[in-house]
Structure 1
Amino acid sequence: MRRRLALLAVATTSLVLVAFLVPLAMLVSTVAAERATAEATAQAQSLAALVALGDRGSLDTTLRQVNGANGTPITVFLPDRTSLGVPAPWDRAVELAARGRSITVETPTGREILVAVQGGAGGTSVIRTFVSTGQLRQGVGRAWLVLGLIGLALLTVGIVVADRLARSLIQPVGQVAGVSRRLARGDLDARVDPAGPPEIRDVGTALNHLATRIRELLTREREAVADLSHQLRTPVTALRLEAETLRDKDEAARVGEAVDTLERMVTQVIREARRFRGGVARCDATAVITDRVTFWSALAEDQDRPVRLRIPGTPLPVGVSAQDLAACADLLLENVFANTPDGTPFTVELAPGPDGGALLTITDEGPGFSYPVPVDRGTSGRSSTGLGLDIARRTAEGSGGRMRAGPSPSGGAEITLEFGPAAS
């Protein structure tokens, strides 16, 4: 856009300059020629009185002085066809002037001026002077150069003004585009500082209102989820009371543990729904994955599951919140425990991503996927909701990454989450 505005300014300014400078240049050329012609004519007419007196000696002396001091040659043709001054041929133009008519004749090399002098004793005499092309154009080149420099200066000023104008338009538009990209990445705190023309300021103000409205809607939605989840506490409490009335202590303990797990999940849903702030998400993947594998290692030890952990010793910042990354790890590890028999080994590997971020790969040596990999939301080949992998996929894609799922080299299942780098 900036280049187009500059080109538009160049084209417009050029047309204006051509419309004014070309006629002005022609006028300068015409004025210079007329000035030189007028000077030569005045000089020739100043000799008319002397020519009319017919004193040949005085006339010859005067012509010698005038021709020696002036760059314009002067010739006087007498009625007897003789001439004084600078030699010149008696041509048709002189013949016409000798009939009593003063004329100006254009020639390839200049302009010939003929002044008829009547009243002499022998008839009509003719004073001839000649103005060369160089004299006709004297000063024109310098005037054209000045006009050209003025035109170039005006064109430069036009380009500079157009560039400043384009910058004043582009900077607010660029700011609006940048804030839009930040909003698309989930940074709902991004706002535009309205600037520029009124129309662009209106766009920036509207974008700020849109961001505020999105934040309000998301907050309202999450609060509704939290309220709904909170309402689940009543039936959970009822289940706990029912579990405590069981006569079989072992069964009561087992049911109570399941109720405790359900209550923790409800609490986690409430906490997750209300922790939303709309800022830029980031965390250290190394610390989060280490913490979650340590948590699940206790259950793996109870089920005699060998755990292989490969994690770098340096931080790996990713564009995901710590809670979301922990939830992804918990979902994938829970799938391993739920879909493979006790004693099945699994591997958790965290590595730097090719373009920053991190690669989280969880591999097990279980039966693998005996059905098409459930990548669509709500699709499952087992007795589950089918939301686990979809949640993990959307979390990875939200950071600019992706998810890959398929068989492992040993025939089990392998799921890789690629998380984008944290925003600077």
Structure 2
Amino acid sequence: MRRRLSLLVAATMCLVLLAFLVPLAVLLRTVARDRALVAASADAQSLVSLVGTADPAALRLSTEQVAAASRRPVTVFLPDGTVLGTPAPRTDAVRLAALGHSLTVDHADGYEIVVAVQGRPDGTVVIRTVVPRAELSRGVGRAWLVLAVLGVTLLLLGLFVADRLARSLVAPIAELSAVSHRLARAELNARARPAGPPELRQVAGALNHLAGRIQELLRDEREQVADLSHRLRTPLTSLRLEAESLTDPADAARITARVDALERAVTGLIQQARRTSDGTGGRTCDATPVVRDRVAFWSVLAEDTGRTVVLDLAPTPLPVRLSADELGAVVDALLGNVFAHTPEETGFSVALRARPEGGASLTVTDQGPGLPGTGGRSPGRDGTVGPPVPVVRGVSSAGSTGLGLDIARRAAQSSGGRLYLSTGPAGGARVTLELGPPSAFTSA
């Protein structure tokens, strides 16, 4: 925009300067020519009064003085053929003037001015002078150079002013764009500084109002989620009392442990819902112990349903940009899908590996019927099946809530990674979750 405004001002100023300077340059050339012709005519007219009264010697002296003063050839042709002043041949103009006609003739080398003086007893006297071409344009080149310098100076001055004006317009627009990108990255505390023309200040105010409304809506949504989660505490408390009343200590301990885990999940959900996040928080954890713990939790249920579990963990710590609670919820969602959408005695494997660019890659593969929509196709070079299976929040082709894969997808994107769905080697579903390192960030 800044460049376009400068080009527009430059084009406008060039047109204006051409409209004024070109006619002025032509006028200067015309004025210089007329000035030279008037000066030459004045020299010739100064001898008219002497022609009728002075003797030939005095007329000769006066003619030479006028020619020397004007630096132009001045010649007087007497009726008897005598030539006074600058020697010159009798031209057609001189012979025509001898008949009593004064005239100005345009030649290739300049203008010839002849003046006929009548009243002498011996006939008509002709006064002749010549204005060279160089004298007709004397000073015109210098004047044109001054005009050119003036035009360039005005153009540069106009471009400078236009650039300052364009910068005053572009800078607020660039700031608005930067603030909008920060809001897109969930930095909801970002605000635009009202600056520039009134229209841009209104846009900045509207953007700030929008950011405030988004904060209010998210705050209300977090409180609603927290309230909904808090309502789960009452049935959990009842469930805990029922578990403690069991006569078998082993069953009571097992069910109480499950209730404790569910209560911790609810507590974490409430804390996460009420957490004010600006999109750049320091949520990090070591993925290895979290995945190991959650797989161990689900292994008990897998043993009860006859499922084989293969766990392949990296031997080194793998820090990722997710909290332990968030990563645990993701693993629970993926493994919960395996138990919910595959028959009993269907095995699955969990692999956690380091990514070359940092972070971790979590892959959950089952030996079930596969994901709906993949058609049993083999995975491509990147491990995905095309066209990819869409992940739509709240929509499931298997009759569930449709939130499990979306939770995993959103967690991956918030960490700077991605979620891939593909077909495993045995034809089952393969879900690959790429998690970014603590320094990575990509808006969800």
TM band (smaller chain): 0.7 to 0.9
Residue 379 of structure 1 and its aligned partner are, at CA, apart by 4.7
Show the counterpart of 2:226.
Answer: 226
Note if contact 1:345-1:365 (Cα within 8 Å) is conserved in structure 2. yes
Show the counterpart of 1:121.
Answer: 121
Show the counterpart of 2:384.
Answer: none
Alpha-carbon deviations, 1:224-272, whole Å to 9, x = none?
A: 1111211221222223333334445444444433433332232222112
Residue 154 of structure 1 and its aligned partner are, at CA, apart by 0.6
3-state SS, counterpart of residue 142 of structure 1:
helix
Residue 312 of structure 1 and its aligned partner are, at CA, apart by 6.2
Q: Distance in 2 between matches of 1:254 and 1:324?
A: 24
The 5 Å alignment of 1:344-383 reads 345-353=349-357, 358=359, 360-364=361-365, 366-367=367-368, 369=370, 371-372=372-373, 375-380=391-396
The 5 Å alignment of 1:325-336 reads 325-333=327-335, 335=337
AA of the residue aligned to 2:355: A
Q: Distance in 2 between matches of 1:390 and 1:198?
A: 43
Stretch of structure 1 that moved more, 23-32 or 50-59? 50-59
Note if contact 1:393-1:403 (Cα within 8 Å) is conserved in structure 2. yes
Q: Distance in 1 between matches of 2:84 and 2:317?
A: 112
Show the counterpart of 1:292.
Answer: 290
Q: Distance in 2 between matches of 1:379 and 1:173?
A: 39
AA of the residue aligned to 2:392: D
Note if contact 1:363-1:408 (Cα within 8 Å) is conserved in structure 2. no
Q: Distance in 2 between matches of 1:321 and 1:241?
A: 31
3-state SS, counterpart of residue 353 of structure 2:
strand
Q: Distance in 2 between matches of 1:311 and 1:381?
A: 37
Pair 1:389-2:405 in alignment: yes
Residue 18 of structure 1 and its aligned partner are, at CA, apart by 1.1
The 5 Å alignment of 1:152-191 reads 152-191=152-191
3-state SS, counterpart of residue 138 of structure 1:
coil
Alpha-carbon deviations, 1:348-387, whole Å to 9, x = none?
A: 123134xxx6452314464462644773334556685332
Q: Distance in 2 between matches of 1:118 and 1:370?
A: 121
Q: 2:312 aligns with which of 308, 313, 321?
A: 308
Show the counterpart of 2:199.
Answer: 199
Q: Distance in 2 between matches of 1:396 and 1:315?
A: 14
Residue 129 of structure 1 and its aligned partner are, at CA, apart by 0.7
Structure 1 residues 187 and 324 mapped into 2: Cα distance closer, same or farther (>3 Å)?
farther
Stretch of structure 1 that moved more, 301-310 or 152-161? 301-310
Q: How many pairs align?
A: 417
Note if contact 1:281-1:422 (Cα within 8 Å) is conserved in structure 2. no
Residue 128 of structure 1 and its aligned partner are, at CA, apart by 1.0
Structure 1 residues 77 and 326 mapped into 2: Cα distance closer, same or farther (>3 Å)?
farther
Show the counterpart of 2:385.
Answer: none
Structure 1 residues 342 and 248 mapped into 2: Cα distance closer, same or farther (>3 Å)?
farther
The 5 Å alignment of 1:3-402 reads 3-68=3-68, 70-281=70-281, 283-284=283-284, 287-296=285-294, 298-299=296-297, 305-310=309-314, 318=321, 324-333=326-335, 335=337, 345-353=349-357, 358=359, 360-364=361-365, 366-367=367-368, 369=370, 371-372=372-373, 375-380=391-396, 384-398=400-414, 401-402=417-418
Q: Distance in 2 between matches of 1:347 and 1:271?
A: 29
Stretch of structure 1 that moved more, 269-278 or 343-352? 343-352
3-state SS, counterpart of residue 369 of structure 1:
coil
Q: Distance in 1 between matches of 2:328 and 2:83?
A: 117
AA of the residue aligned to 1:47: L
Identity of aligned residues (%): 51
TM (norm. structure 1) is 0.86
Structure 1 residues 76 and 34 mapped into 2: Cα distance closer, same or farther (>3 Å)?
same
Note if contact 2:268-2:325 (Cα within 8 Å) is conserved in structure 1. no
Structure 1 residues 290 and 247 mapped into 2: Cα distance closer, same or farther (>3 Å)?
closer
Residue 418 of structure 1 and its aligned partner are, at CA, apart by 3.5
Note if contact 1:310-1:350 (Cα within 8 Å) is conserved in structure 2. yes
Residue 57 of structure 1 and its aligned partner are, at CA, apart by 2.6
Note if contact 2:43-2:66 (Cα within 8 Å) is conserved in structure 1. no
Alpha-carbon deviations, 1:386-420, whole Å to 9, x = none?
A: 32112111333455643112233465543222356
3-state SS, counterpart of residue 149 of structure 2:
helix
3-state SS, counterpart of residue 90 of structure 2:
coil
3-state SS, counterpart of residue 170 of structure 1:
helix
Alpha-carbon deviations, 1:29-85, whole Å to 9, x = none?
A: 122112222222222222223322252233334434544564311111222354323
What RMSD over aligned residues (CA atoms) do the two structures have, in Å?
A: 3.2
- Which residues of structure 2 form unaligned runs of 5+? 375-388
Structure 1 residues 233 and 39 mapped into 2: Cα distance closer, same or farther (>3 Å)?
same
3-state SS, counterpart of residue 84 of structure 2:
strand
